Each structure stands twice: as structure tokens, then as C-alpha cells.
Amino acid sequence: MNPEQSNENGPVLYRHVTMKEWGMGILAWEGPRRRRYQFQDGRMRTIGKGHYDKMVPVEAPPENARAVVAELSVGLDAARARRRLEKIDPEARRELMSLADQTLLFSHEFPGGFKGEKWLTEKRGQDVTRKLKRLRNPVLAMAAEVLSKEALDRAIASDLCMEHMDAIIEVLKRTDLVRMKDEVSRLVDLTGLERKQAIIAIRGLLYGEDRLAWRFDALITALTPLGASPPSWPLVTVFGALALPKEHVVVRPSVFRKQAQWAAPTLEHQARPHGKLYEAYVEMVQLVDRSLFRRGLEPQDLIDVYDFMVVTSRKNAKLTLDALPKE
């Protein structure tokens, strides 16, 4: 760590005197005539020697400062990885969607952001009578009951897992986060004992106290009857996303790979779900969530962040962004 990065009171954080929207920063590199800082908005910026006074130290309790520095260090590693990838493949820079790009595109397509009428109507389903699969509020309300700790405990204790799995399946039929064919149909085919094991594992994932990766892997095992292929990422992750949307995320591999190009370029993706990788995915989405808040956007939960990622990672997103009028 650079000498200016710490003192007897803990790590040193900086803030630009006028660009508050960048968030706090850490000194990432210093040369004879310039310094580079990693900021909370995910960007690394260069400050010339004549402008060092624009970066002022931020007073923060040591424990808070250390937490922010830890977060910024992850962003710094990501920035360095992006630079290496861009050197290997110059076209990568042209195709890369930064978080700034994503928020610009998002704000253009959804005026008012997550609190705007268009988003609340078309994505959340607020005050909408038709409960379409793409709308989040109706299925979240159903899941809050069926996947509650009390409901799962009742089903396990009363040996009503066969019937309760039917109720869970009905919830999953109401959302586009999973497909009925090849994903939800796997639950339909479970035997009575297999359904009980699956519900116990779902309860463990949502409300257990062991490490998240272990609980996640236990659910994968429960959803993989003897001789069956492993379940998909969306199926294993949908229970947490619907029951505890502020803590868990639903994973669509293509969307997460594209988001990781900016937010976590060192991640090693796997086609099959895996507990340690799920932990990393949750951390990545939480990082995007915090970054959106710092940019003045306020997702209700991580499903909002997921839908933000889907909207801004679609195939023609970069072309749409490039066509927007430049300020």
C-alpha cells in the first residue's frame, strides 16, 4: 500500500472536491507527474500533478474506511484486469459496456429509473391487473408466503412436502425467471422422498446458518436425483431470488458473463451451478447495486438489479447506446 494510503487511524480515502458522483477513491498508482485513483463508481481516473489538491482526504471511522478500501480494492483488481484484456484484444474496449454506459442506456429507456412509471408498470407490475410472467411484484407476493420459513417448516414437520412442492411449482409457473420445460419440470418429476429432500435443502439455502456456498451445493445435490443431469443455474437460484430478493440473485449465465466483463473480469464462469461461484455472483450484483445507488438510482432489490443487467446486456444494447445523442 502506498504511504499516503494509510495512517495511524486506518486507511486513507479520497474524494474529488467537485465530482461527488465518483464516490470515494483510493490511490492506485503514482508516477512523477500523475496519480491514478480507483473510485466507487467503478472507474479508475488519472489526476495530473497540478490538480492533486482536488483530491482531498475523507474523514471516516477506521472500520468503515477499511470496508470501503476492501471494496475499492476489488474494483481496482477488476480495472487492472480490464486493461490487460484490452491490450490482448483491442476490440474488447469497443464492445465493453461500462456501468456508466449501462446507466446512460437505462435512464434513456426508463425515465425516472427504478421509481419511474414505465419501470414500475412494465417490470414490477405495480397497479397492473394482468399478472404477466415478466412482472415481479405478483410472483414475489406469492413466494413470500409459499417460501417463508414458517411455510417450509410446516410442510416438513407435517410431512406435506408432496403438496407443498406443488405450491412451489405453481409459483414458478408465474415467472419468466425459469422455464417450465427442462427446469420446473424437473420438480414435477420428483418422488415424495425427493420432494422432501428438496424442500429441506430450499429451507437450508434460505434460512440456514452455514456458509452460503455449502447451502447452495446442498440444494444442487437435492435437485439431482440418481442418474439425472445437474440442474440449471436459473432453477437453483430462483428460490432465493423470489423468497429473499434483497439477499439472493437469480443467475442467467449469458447475462452474468457479460456483466462480469466490466464488474468482475477475473471470474471463471462455469456452465454448471457451483456454490463458490454463486457467492461471487452475489457479490458482483451487490457491487452493481451499490454503484447504482451512488449514481442516484435506487433499486428496490436485487431482482431490479438483475432486470437492469438484462435490459442493458441485450444484443443490440451497444448499438442503441452509440445512437444516443452525445452531451
Q: What is the DSSP string of 257-307?
A: HHHHHHH-TT----SS--HHHHHHHHHHHHHHHHHHHHTT---SSHHHHHH
Q: Which of 37, 65, 88 is the last residue of a domain?
A: 88
Residue 93 in any domain: the answer is no
State how far the alpha carbon of 291 is from the alpha carbons of 43, 71, 296, in Å. 11, 11, 9
Q: Are residues 238 and 261 in the same domain?
A: yes
pLDDT tens per residue, range 182-221:
789 999 999 999 999 999 999 999 999 999 999 999 999 9
Sheet holding 55-58, edge to edge: 44-48, 34-39, 25-30, 13-16, 55-58
Q: Are residues 261 and 169 in the same domain?
A: yes
In the chain, % of residues over pLDDT 90 = 54
Query: Residues 263, 101: contact at Cβ < 8 Å?
Result: no
Q: Are residues 10 and 70 in the same domain?
A: yes
Q: Are residues 130 and 231 in the same domain?
A: yes
In the chain, % helix, strand, coil (3-state, to 5) comes to 60, 10, 30
Mean pLDDT for the stretch of residues 163-175: 96
Residue 227 in any domain: the answer is yes
More confident residue, 316 or 152: 152
Query: Residues 147, 202: contact at Cβ < 8 Å?
Result: yes
The cell numbers describing 269, all together, are 464462469
φ, ψ of residue 16 to 5 degrees: the values are -75, 140
The cell numbers describing 109, all together, are 429507456
More confident residue, 143 or 1: 143
Which neighbouring-strand residues pair with 39? 25
Q: Which of 66, 88, 110 is the last residue of a domain?
A: 88
pLDDT at 140 over 90: yes
Query: Residues 324, 262: contact at Cβ < 8 Å?
Result: no
More confident residue, 9 or 96: 96
More confident residue, 15 or 318: 15
pLDDT tens per residue, range 226-262:
778 899 999 999 999 999 999 999 999 999 998 988 8
**Reduced to 3 states, what is the DSSP secondary structure of residue 229?**
coil
Q: Does the pTM exceed 0.85?
A: no
Query: How many domains are there within the chain?
Result: 2
Ramachandran assignment for 227, one of left (phi > 0), alpha (psi -120 to 50 degrees), beta (any other):
left
pLDDT at 104 over 80: yes
- pLDDT band at 295; cut points 50, 70, 90: confident
Residue 255 in any domain: the answer is yes
Which neighbouring-strand residues pair with 112? none
Q: Which of 32, 62, 88 is the last residue of a domain?
A: 88
Q: Are residues 183 and 295 in the same domain?
A: yes
More confident residue, 171 or 4: 171
Q: Are residues 141 and 65 in the same domain?
A: no
Residue 94 in any domain: the answer is no
Query: Residues 187, 168: contact at Cβ < 8 Å?
Result: yes
Check residue 76 and give its pLDDT. 62
- pLDDT band at 36; cut points 50, 70, 90: confident
More confident residue, 87 or 68: 68
Q: Are residues 37 and 162 in the same domain?
A: no
Residue 134 in any domain: the answer is yes
pLDDT at 50 over 70: yes
Check residue 45 and give its pLDDT. 87
Check residue 181 and give its pLDDT. 83
User: Nearest 5°: CA angle at 286, between 285 and 288?
Assistant: 65
Q: Are residues 281 and 209 in the same domain?
A: yes
Q: Are residues 151 and 269 in the same domain?
A: yes
Residue 282 in any domain: the answer is yes
55-69, 100-114, 208-222, 289-303: the lowest-pLDDT one = 55-69
How far apart are alpha carbons 65 and 86 in whole angstroms?
31
pLDDT at 269 over 80: yes
pLDDT at 9 over 50: no
- pLDDT band at 4; cut points 50, 70, 90: very low
Check residue 281 and give its pLDDT. 95
Query: Residues 316, 322: contact at Cβ < 8 Å?
Result: no
Q: Are residues 106 and 239 in the same domain?
A: yes
Check residue 169 and give its pLDDT. 96
Check residue 8 and give its pLDDT. 47
Q: Are residues 193 and 109 in the same domain?
A: yes
Residue 276 in any domain: the answer is yes
How far apart are alpha carbons 121 and 315 in whole angstroms?
23
The parent domain of residue 26 ranges over 3-88
Q: Are residues 274 and 301 in the same domain?
A: yes
pLDDT at 170 over 70: yes
Check residue 117 and give its pLDDT. 95
Check residue 40 and give its pLDDT. 79
Residue 308 in any domain: the answer is yes
How far apart are alpha carbons 267 and 21 in whole angstroms?
27
